[in-house]
Structure 1
């Protein structure tokens, strides 16, 4: 009970507009979502207002928890702080007691901990009141599906057992194919026995009497519960005493399980035994993650800070659910019996509060960030989980499912649905990239059959006889597009080349030839089919029957520049011809396509001769990240190019424009999307979305520091590109395989110096990426002249020497 809360590691704080800012404190088995003033407003839209509160996937436990002193509810927080693995709120003095609240979710526990640190200037006895209101509810169905939560959600019961509040929901929903369940939540304090406890229908602390949002129809800006709610409440009262000028921390645990009350009690006992120690372990684990991929960017400190917080975002969204029944729901229109069962899925969740489950798109884009951050286990686990669910839901067709909720319900991406087939095309690349960065051939082998079926599905099942492009929806889920989508075409070419690379490494000549042949055919026809020189942009889609080019200015127009291709053991940065790419990227930098916080999901008219008048000028962080990577692939790293977009992301993540400091949001304020803090709590985008970290970590580690492993072939390339106007960039403890590397890149005048210290066994290609057309005058390795290779790429002229990993190699290049 008497222990301090966390104070280690970096923090970010905010003190303005706290009542309208959401936050999350997350572990891999539980999380809590509230507002930064310490309250728990209803929030989210999948089941309106029910996506916040306290969760242990796949179920919600509580709407919220509230605290009072001597019968007076503690007021709204005056400041909010994000830390590594926890959040903290400074609360106002209440009846002479100073209060700080710390929330965190210990990893591996189905519980959230709330620590109240109490201080008084004089000794005083006091009562501590705790209200909790349950809402035991499954992550699926949602409010608008068939069935919906008004039909599926059962009433909760509440009891006081002398030490804890115990909430339960037991039974079988009156819905065809629903399974019986026994769900429970337990609330109590470590080392304390309450003087009293009571239960009833209320007990929402200062949020009683509640404002109720209707289940459908016109919404309210802020409410306390919803028409879906069937929870119960309770209150615990403790008699305590404070000593003068001495802090006391009282820890409250909210634990639960979808496996019955005894399982919930076991979770409670484990989590509540020593919360202070659990917090220190959590912070220590997060500091360990931060110690990987440490970067120094003297001329861009905001981006360096964003790298640090992006690693934390990835850890926050690492989620796990057990005992998963895979149920294909056909976009929420049916609720069939389970098609299969998995003991566990572990993955990188998409975003809080409405997307904390498994999306293929998010998993595949975020994989780049996970690799750059050294979080290899999460990358591998997510791809394994995605493949396992896809094979059950799609009967081993090779198609990747789009969206899987933590209870196993597959909302979209089945064989009979048109999209999102870009995710199937991207899967072999995700596997190949993990294999290249980790050298884990066993993972490649485990995923290999599925990646073969991915590309066979794309080529044999979806490509129509009229052309070589697979037909079906890509990432853009919009009407008016033609049958062939640009991102599908780009990622199919890339996926075929990645499959060929893995096939060659396994000696599977037939698959290698299949993949290379189809990739070559598509690549040879790509520019003619998709490039629109009069705009200049790539078409978003091609419309049958004549493959007419359509341009609606969707963000996918950047994918030909963003995709990296691996051919004959050499990375090719970008599919688009450089002359075309430079024109297309320059147009995307105009005000019709980009704004204060990034590139728009759909640009508007006025900056090109295109005739389409529609627009959705919303700066999604994924789109901005794709743009940042695309610019980097063509050597455009300066303040008006890549740095503009990476700094847009850093502003959103680190500043006070978005909601939680340190959290990468889904969308930045834009002409067609106001800031989240101005929107009703049930109508907002994600406060923390993993995919934006792609546009932070990948440009720094892979493009600026030039780290490009191909450990599946025993090769590591480090060919940095120091951004214009900067003199040095460096990174240390970058995980490669089972070892790490440190990289320092410097540029001064006509000299480029790269120093690599590597702690693994491989062949090292070290050097630098110079401006296109540079003339090399001399190259030395550790001070001695050395033979070198020159390789012209879309990103510039690469100059490299070959040596062995396992020591320090310094390459100095003088060029003009």
Structure 2
């Protein structure tokens, strides 16, 4: 399997199973950091509780009288989900090298760290080793708001000289720490620290031994950690399993990632970097899968800052997850969010943020409900799961009623409230909420038709047509050849001017007041709703990304955005007005918009810009904010890569409910004579291999169709159809 290595010791890493997440720095340390929980976002987490602040190794050369807390100078992301730390130069002349490898089993509540010490000095090297851990049993962010309060301290009990169990004094939260390090010397207590004085309230546990190594000798030992958020018995049972079965658990994890790597395998000749990035974003998403007993399993937004579930992030990210074949993760995530939405709202509103303790900290922004409804139909097209569609349909109906009722008091089909851009005060009729409401109505139009609800189908069809027209009329700025950020009367804008100016000034924009006063002057005395291009936020691409923009307007808007006002070195700015932030979501949505309207070359340019941030922080991952800050891994990056490539470059249009796939490839010019393949593409219960290549000056599309589904080639207005198991069509050169 592939690995990626870096030598940036103070960068964070994220190492994960489906239960346990480990986050520290790439030198093997665990510094305090984080803002949701000040100084507590790192360490070892068994959501919804934290287990450890961290663990460290002290090495003492008894003959040279040198003692160091080992600090790694090389870090490797293993493609199977583990991490490796190499300690070559940080041991202060002690003639040994150390390798630490660690992983969290995907289906057990614990982790394993294995140390391998290799002697290279002539003669004998006598070492004293201290393996030290610090517990810190505490709940995830926002738990105190729902009455989950940890105790003031912890109680530690030594089971043996190499095994300790720790309990929170107020809650049934447990951590068990042990090692197969030889010897019996051990100390336990809250006063015991390693090289970092971590902020937690916890307990230090120190295992000590001595060993003698001859040249080329190798000494191995392991740290085992297990936890439980409910009982001592469960914690002890998990520990026993991990201690006994750590070898087979590692093999199980490797097999899981092998299967993941065999889904939706992309190969573009000459695009080694893109192929590699595509493979890694699938692995990244597995890092972000979180199981919590009693709540469910789902894709979290990002690590380590947002290790819980979000509506908005999911309805973007899961589009990429569908396209790369993990349909069970899509079901699990959406069902979890549906249950929490019913529990917190019950009126069709889709939640924004759910912690792993099960608390809903934000009941939902306007855009999220619309985007959820639109996504349900997308999910059905890929899975063909009739029961799943019916499970979500009623809440979708409630959701559109909420959007066009409570959230649309003036009845103009544009719901008010916050959208994706969560800036205080900008809770107007925003472009993304309006666009996704149109998409939601189109989705309900299709759902109701499929389910035989004729009256609703006619209603949704009419409303969808009206809303699409209204978006293209009201949000379009003829002067700017762009869609506006928001629609509002001038009376709604004037009270917000000072606040918007203050936001701009914080970003170093000194002439924003003059800009917005110019907009107000253009509006004159007209008190009717009108479009406002306030910040040129990235969401003004959503009419094109969602495919509802008029063709001429889409062409003009996309052309107007192909410049340095909107696009920087790493992709699309969050706001062209500020040009001070880029995310994979802003770049990805822009790339989808370009590809959706037939501009694959411009879409590929955006993906290549985004690709420059790959591995900048964690080897094998894109950061939340390009190129190198925010979460070190972010779920919606898979949307940014997979949707342009699968849905548009390869042109995959699934109709799983009809056992049919439509292909309408639109490759970038740079790939015109390249071999391009997408193998093991999953649609419903079928799998397809798609190859596009040139032979003897002619271009061919070949499809492996083992299930005998109907495959339709829609190529430049010509449609061809086959259900043969091996299909080959010549394309126009």
Report the TM-score, using the length of structure 1 for normalisation: 0.80
Q: Distance in 2 between matches of 1:248 and 1:705?
A: 51
Does the Cα contact within 8 Å between 1:722 and 1:745 map onto a contact in 2?
no
The secondary structure found in structure 2 opposite 1:88 is strand
Q: Corresponding residue for 1:643?
A: 604
Q: Distance in 2 between matches of 1:752 and 1:577?
A: 31
Alignment map for 1:296-695 (pairs within 5 Å): 296-322=267-293, 343-394=294-345, 396-413=346-363, 419-479=364-424, 481=426, 483-544=428-489, 546-551=528-533, 552-563=535-546, 574-604=547-577, 615=578, 617-638=580-601, 641-654=602-615, 658-669=616-627, 675-676=628-629, 685-695=630-640
Q: Distance in 2 between matches of 1:102 and 1:140?
A: 29
The secondary structure found in structure 2 opposite 1:743 is strand
- The CA deviation string for residues 510-556 of structure 1, in whole angstroms up to 9 with x for no partner, is 33223212111112222111110111210111113621211120111
Q: Distance in 1 between matches of 2:647 and 2:411?
A: 38
Q: Kindly tell me: are residues 536 and 617 of structure 1, through their superposed partners in 2, closer, same or farther at Cα, counting changes over 3 Å? A: farther
Q: Distance in 2 between matches of 1:70 and 1:740?
A: 56
Q: Corresponding residue for 1:115?
A: 114
The secondary structure found in structure 2 opposite 1:23 is coil
Q: Distance in 2 between matches of 1:486 and 1:310?
A: 29
Q: Distance in 2 between matches of 1:479 and 1:470?
A: 17
- The CA deviation string for residues 778-804 of structure 1, in whole angstroms up to 9 with x for no partner, is xxxxxxxxxxxx2xxxxxxxx320121
Deviates more, 1:288-297 or 1:513-522: 513-522
Q: Corresponding residue for 2:498?
A: none
Does the Cα contact within 8 Å between 2:475 and 2:483 map onto a contact in 1?
yes
Q: Corresponding residue for 1:332?
A: none
Q: Does residue 803 of structure 1 match 2:690? A: no
Q: Distance in 2 between matches of 1:453 and 1:589?
A: 39
Q: Does residue 766 of structure 1 match 2:713? A: yes
Q: Kindly tell me: are residues 284 and 377 of structure 1, through their superposed partners in 2, closer, same or farther at Cα, counting changes over 3 Å? A: same
The secondary structure found in structure 1 opposite 2:351 is coil
For residue 185 of structure 1, the aligned residue among 167, 175, 191 is: 175
Q: Corresponding residue for 1:812?
A: 730
- The CA deviation string for residues 631-679 of structure 1, in whole angstroms up to 9 with x for no partner, is 11111111xx11221112222123xxx310111210014xxxxx43xxx
- The CA deviation string for residues 427-475 of structure 1, in whole angstroms up to 9 with x for no partner, is 1222222221122222112222222222222223322235121122111
- The CA deviation string for residues 488-512 of structure 1, in whole angstroms up to 9 with x for no partner, is 1111111111122122222122332
Q: Corresponding residue for 2:521?
A: none
Does the Cα contact within 8 Å between 2:374 and 2:443 map onto a contact in 1?
yes
Q: Distance in 2 between matches of 1:241 and 1:254?
A: 27
Does the Cα contact within 8 Å between 1:66 and 1:204 map onto a contact in 2?
no
Q: Distance in 2 between matches of 1:385 and 1:298?
A: 39
Does the Cα contact within 8 Å between 2:85 and 2:101 map onto a contact in 1?
yes
Q: Distance in 2 between matches of 1:147 and 1:439?
A: 38
Alignment map for 1:6-405 (pairs within 5 Å): 9-15=1-7, 17-18=8-9, 20-70=10-60, 72-84=67-79, 85-92=81-88, 94=91, 95-121=94-120, 126-141=127-142, 154-162=152-160, 163-171=162-170, 181-190=171-180, 192=181, 194-207=183-196, 210=197, 225-226=198-199, 229-240=200-211, 245-322=216-293, 343-394=294-345, 396-405=346-355
Q: Kindly tell me: are residues 482 and 272 of structure 1, through their superposed partners in 2, closer, same or farther at Cα, counting changes over 3 Å? A: closer
- The CA deviation string for residues 125-173 of structure 1, in whole angstroms up to 9 with x for no partner, is 644311111111100337xx86899x756322333332313222031xx
Q: Distance in 2 between matches of 1:69 and 1:159?
A: 26
- The CA deviation string for residues 62-93 of structure 1, in whole angstroms up to 9 with x for no partner, is 11001123473443212111112111111137
Q: Corresponding residue for 2:505?
A: none
Q: Distance in 1 between matches of 2:458 and 2:682?
A: 33
Deviates more, 1:577-586 or 1:25-34: 577-586
- The CA deviation string for residues 182-208 of structure 1, in whole angstroms up to 9 with x for no partner, is 111111124x5641211122433222x
Q: Kindly tell me: are residues 767 and 744 of structure 1, through their superposed partners in 2, closer, same or farther at Cα, counting changes over 3 Å? A: farther
Q: Does residue 742 of structure 1 match 2:703? A: no
Q: Distance in 2 between matches of 1:617 and 1:148?
A: 39
Deviates more, 1:58-67 or 1:688-697: 688-697
Unaligned runs of 5+ in 2: 62-66, 490-526
Q: Kindly tell me: are residues 165 and 697 of structure 1, through their superposed partners in 2, closer, same or farther at Cα, counting changes over 3 Å? A: same
For residue 643 of structure 2, the aligned residue among 698, 702, 713 is: 698
The secondary structure found in structure 1 opposite 2:220 is strand
Q: Corresponding residue for 1:174?
A: none
Does the Cα contact within 8 Å between 1:111 and 1:255 map onto a contact in 2?
yes
Q: Distance in 2 between matches of 1:480 and 1:185?
A: 44
Does the Cα contact within 8 Å between 1:30 and 1:111 map onto a contact in 2?
yes
Q: Kindly tell me: are residues 532 and 632 of structure 1, through their superposed partners in 2, closer, same or farther at Cα, counting changes over 3 Å? A: same
Q: Corresponding residue for 1:608?
A: none
Aligned length: 681
Unaligned runs of 5+ in 1: 1-8, 172-180, 211-224, 323-342, 414-418, 564-573, 605-614, 670-674, 677-684, 771-789, 791-798
Does the Cα contact within 8 Å between 1:436 and 1:711 map onto a contact in 2?
yes
The secondary structure found in structure 1 opposite 2:528 is coil
Deviates more, 1:748-757 or 1:487-496: 748-757
Report the TM-score, using the length of structure 2 for normalisation: 0.89
Q: Kindly tell me: are residues 512 and 749 of structure 1, through their superposed partners in 2, closer, same or farther at Cα, counting changes over 3 Å? A: farther
Q: Distance in 1 between matches of 2:597 and 2:358?
A: 41
Q: Corresponding residue for 1:217?
A: none
The secondary structure found in structure 2 opposite 1:205 is coil
- RMSD of aligned Cα (Å): 2.2
Does the Cα contact within 8 Å between 2:51 and 2:135 map onto a contact in 1?
yes
Q: Distance in 2 between matches of 1:186 and 1:807?
A: 54
Q: Distance in 2 between matches of 1:687 and 1:587?
A: 32
Deviates more, 1:232-241 or 1:507-516: 232-241
Does the Cα contact within 8 Å between 2:150 and 2:168 map onto a contact in 1?
no
Q: Kindly tell me: are residues 189 and 801 of structure 1, through their superposed partners in 2, closer, same or farther at Cα, counting changes over 3 Å? A: same
Q: Corresponding residue for 2:515?
A: none
1:742 is displaced (CA, Å) by 0.6
The secondary structure found in structure 2 opposite 1:668 is coil
Q: Kindly tell me: are residues 755 and 147 of structure 1, through their superposed partners in 2, closer, same or farther at Cα, counting changes over 3 Å? A: closer
- The CA deviation string for residues 332-355 of structure 1, in whole angstroms up to 9 with x for no partner, is xxxxxxxxxxx2221111011110
- The CA deviation string for residues 413-439 of structure 1, in whole angstroms up to 9 with x for no partner, is 2xxxxx511110111222222221122
Does the Cα contact within 8 Å between 2:105 and 2:249 map onto a contact in 1?
yes
Does the Cα contact within 8 Å between 1:113 and 1:254 map onto a contact in 2?
yes
Q: Distance in 2 between matches of 1:766 and 1:53?
A: 51
Does the Cα contact within 8 Å between 2:415 and 2:434 map onto a contact in 1?
yes
Q: Kindly tell me: are residues 739 and 246 of structure 1, through their superposed partners in 2, closer, same or farther at Cα, counting changes over 3 Å? A: farther
